[in-house]
């Protein structure tokens, strides 16, 4: 019969396995996003860059592609000040696709900050 120490050890081992799986998943996703970013930097369209990925899981592929697009918007638009129209041309995507992704970034930001949509407090600087 397993002792409480054995049960704790099994839980720790299972947790360690889950942590390793999460880390491996994050590393894999980061590698996919690096592939997209690198291809875009070399002049490929966003769709061409995404076509380089070998992700058989449809849900994971969609998630990686969406995250990569949001990351590119964050870096190029918010970080480097590139206008969205120029970014759309660079990525060879429609402006509406970028606007939708930008809105998703805003929605996620509101969700993470605990502010309901549309009720974010404005900063007043005197």
What's the pLDDT tens digit per position in 12-50? 545 555 567 788 889 999 999 999 999 999 999 999 999
* 24, 72, 74, 87 from 81: Cα distances, Å: 33, 12, 9, 10
What's the pLDDT tens digit per position in 79-104? 999 999 999 999 999 999 999 999 99
**For all residues of the chain together, what is the average pLDDT?**
82
- Domain range enclosing 24: 4-113
For the chain, how big is the Rg over CA atoms in Å? 20
Q: How many CB atoms lie within 10 A of CB 76?
A: 18
- How many domains, the chain? 1
Confidence (pLDDT) at 123:
34
121: DSSP letter:
P
């Amino acid at each position: 019969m397993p002792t409480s120490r054995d049960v704790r050890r099994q839980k720790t081992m299972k947790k360690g396995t889950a942590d390793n799986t999460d880390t491996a998943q994050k590393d894999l996703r980061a590698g996919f996003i690096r592939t997209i970013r690198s291809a875009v930097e070399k002049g490929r369209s966003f769709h061409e860059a995404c076509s380089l990925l070998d992700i058989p899981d449809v849900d994971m592929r969609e998630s990686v592609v969406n995250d990569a697009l949001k990351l590119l918007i964050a870096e190029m638009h918010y970080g480097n000040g590139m206008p969205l129209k120029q970014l759309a041309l660079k990525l060879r995507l429609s402006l509406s696709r970028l606007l939708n992704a930008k809105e998703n970034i805003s929605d996620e930001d509101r969700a993470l900050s605990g502010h309901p949509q549309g009720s974010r407090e404005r900063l007043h600087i005197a």
